[in-house]
Chain A
């Protein structure tokens, strides 16, 4: 056989080689599923990192689940989740949210863990008119902290969690059930949470007084203080048998040691924020058992995922099996966040239209692993509430276990044990 290499054949071959990638890529892209990008802002590092420890476990499970894509109006869309670290800093959270919106061009943005993460992200989303779903921050600081007006609400940003009224209702039911003297010592720091809880009109004082509790509130302390002796002597003088407040773990640690040193032994100690995580309780040693706190989610909640059908218990056990760490409350909410996202993507009238996506969020009505999410029933527009119960850290072998002891405000969630007094 004769091979004749001519100038023309070489040029033609070269031309085909050069053109091939372009033609092939164009055809592949045409055939493949379009991608919906979901941005996720979370405090992977910094003081809030405890809230984000389950992120990787949750995202891994979801990416596997989303591998086949989500169908919307008969068309399959791939889901790409882009996670960015807020470093527990609100300014940084706003910065990465802007990055996600402007350079990654996400279709939906999500955020979780305290108002320091949710608010700046939601604000960026509202300005840039990108649909935004957030969770894991009480709704008052989310809504009013962003200057929300209950008559108008926001157009693109939606949030699901519980609020201060739920905390107050749960705490007072817990104390009613304990049968101790109705004298409550309040420990409120001078930060967003402390000022909201201690606020004379919107915080604890009014509902407590209405239910016959006497609140001793010496004032607002600066977070990371080294001395609580004035609080302790005020509580001692007043004969407080209950203490409450919203504190960060180091402040509670300081207070709790000093209280013991100075002979102040309340019968019930119900503290928000400081007692959320098992690690914080274990750090307190023997004196960590018996403390009480709010419970947003637990493996015993009778809910299951709308995406994977996994029960609350299995999700928590899966986390423990994957990481060797005990379950924490944010796990369920992280999963639920993406349940809502997946639901919105499957229902939206036009996924390329941000307004249609925002409307789809508004009309959400699903039962997630943390309870029902439905923005039609919220206390204000853009907020949907999930159930809240309260309970106690009780000794369980070598460790401690968070046991639900009061469900009077969410009877569908079973109680796991009785409240035990501290002293």
Chain B
């Protein structure tokens, strides 16, 4: 029994990481119906920015986040206004292709700049610290990751439903043209949404960089779990994304408990079952 509690607990914590990967995706899909193929590579870009910052100033990776987050947000705003806004329209294919190209460009630029060496953000003792709950041992870092994921999603949710900016997001999401008529600058609102999404990506990148070593090519592999978490939870629903991540994480650790080969498969099966039973996800976006 205690063994299974441990398995599920590890799964929940893993879900926090997936939710963090997925939060940015969920946000930009919710606001502008943009599927960002480059999301995984942007997470790795953030990890590399974190690496450069820690190297240059000799600071802890968490302190580096203070610089990485605004930089990522800036990149997001410029990216959206400079490139992605030109591609948005009734057809969803052009933005898909552009972000696919972006993914290739980011990977190769990172390879050129940082080489293929695996890198890691060194966070000191917290990397291996753990807390004991009864006979269970839980890493402090996964616990922190989960806490950050909950905090990020809670603050995004608050921002969405309790601030003027959030109202803007919801307005352009519901109907771009009417929102424009009401005096909202659609291009600017989209830029802000992307900035926010990439700031979240920055957090995910730094936590990923502390958790494991990374190199320019591993971004793509992280994308699939992000997408699955978004879809399981319901498109555009942020709390749903967290739930989706947790379901995915628990399914994976339970699968791995039965046989390690089933770890990834079990996650995909959980995803397929949800897709078959509730094609809109478990908690599709409620109408406001």
Residues of A within 8 A of B (CB): 45-50, 53, 88, 190, 218-222, 224-227, 229-231, 233, 249-254, 257-258, 260-263, 277, 279-280, 283-285, 287
Say which one of B85-93, B147-155, B215-223 lies at the interface with A.
B215-223
CB contact under 8 A between A257 and B215, given known A50-B116, A250-B118: no
Q: Which residues in B have their C-beta under 8 angstroms from that of A250?
A: 118, 212-215, 218
In the assembled complex, the CB of A223 is this many whole angstroms from the nearest CB of chain B, namely 8
In the assembled complex, the CB of A280 is this many whole angstroms from the nearest CB of chain B, namely 5
> Is there an interface contact between A277 and B261, defined as CB atoms closer than 8 Å?
no
Q: Which residues in A have their C-beta under 8 angstroms from that of B142?
A: 261
Q: Which residues in A have their C-beta under 8 angstroms from that of B18?
A: 226
Q: Which residues in A have their C-beta under 8 angstroms from that of B256?
A: 221, 227, 229-230
> Is there an interface contact between B141 and A261, defined as CB atoms closer than 8 Å?
yes
Tell me the residues in window 119-150 of chain B with beta carbons closer than 8 Å to chain A beta carbons. 119-120, 122, 127-130, 137-142
B103 interface contact, C-beta 8 A = no
Say which one of B3-11, B25-33, B179-187 lies at the interface with A.
B3-11
CB contact under 8 A between A258 and B139, given known A48-B116, A224-B218: yes
Q: Which residues in A have their C-beta under 8 angstroms from that of B217?
A: 46-47, 88
Q: Which residues in A have their C-beta under 8 angstroms from that of B263?
A: 221-222, 225, 227, 230
Q: Which residues in B have their C-beta under 8 angstroms from that of A231?
A: 260
A-B contact pairs, 19 of them (CB 8 A): A47-B116, A50-B116, A50-B117, A221-B263, A224-B218, A229-B256, A230-B7, A230-B256, A230-B257, A230-B260, A249-B213, A252-B213, A253-B211, A257-B212, A261-B130, A261-B137, A279-B118, A280-B117, A280-B213
> Is there an interface contact between A262 and B260, defined as CB atoms closer than 8 Å?
no
> Residue on B with the closest CB to A224?
B221
CB contact under 8 A between A263 and B252, given known A225-B263, A257-B141, A257-B211: no
> Is there an interface contact between B128 and A257, defined as CB atoms closer than 8 Å?
yes
> Residue on A with the closest CB to B111?
A45
CB contact under 8 A between A227 and B14, given known A253-B212, A257-B139, A258-B139: yes
> Is there an interface contact between A249 and B215, defined as CB atoms closer than 8 Å?
yes
> Is there an interface contact between A254 and B215, defined as CB atoms closer than 8 Å?
no
Set A46, A222, A261, A285: member contacting B129, Cβ < 8 A? A261
When chains A and B are docked, how far (Å) is the Cα of A347 from the Cα of B4? 67
In the assembled complex, the CB of A271 is this many whole angstroms from the nearest CB of chain B, namely 13
Set B111, B119, B252, B261: member contacting A227, Cβ < 8 A? B252
> Residue on B with the closest CB to A88?
B217
> Residue on B with the closest CB to A51?
B116
When chains A and B are docked, how far (Å) is the Cα of A279 from the Cα of B51? 14
Known: A46-B217, A49-B115, A229-B10. 9 other contacts (CB 8 A): A225-B264, A249-B215, A250-B213, A252-B213, A253-B212, A257-B211, A261-B141, A279-B118, A283-B213
When chains A and B are docked, how far (Å) is the Cα of A238 from the Cα of B11? 22
CB contact under 8 A between A263 and B137, given known A221-B263, A224-B221, A226-B14: yes
When chains A and B are docked, how far (Å) is the Cα of A284 from the Cα of B212? 9
When chains A and B are docked, how far (Å) is the Cα of A254 from the Cα of B225? 17
Q: Which residues in A have their C-beta under 8 angstroms from that of B7?
A: 229-230
B206 interface contact, C-beta 8 A = no
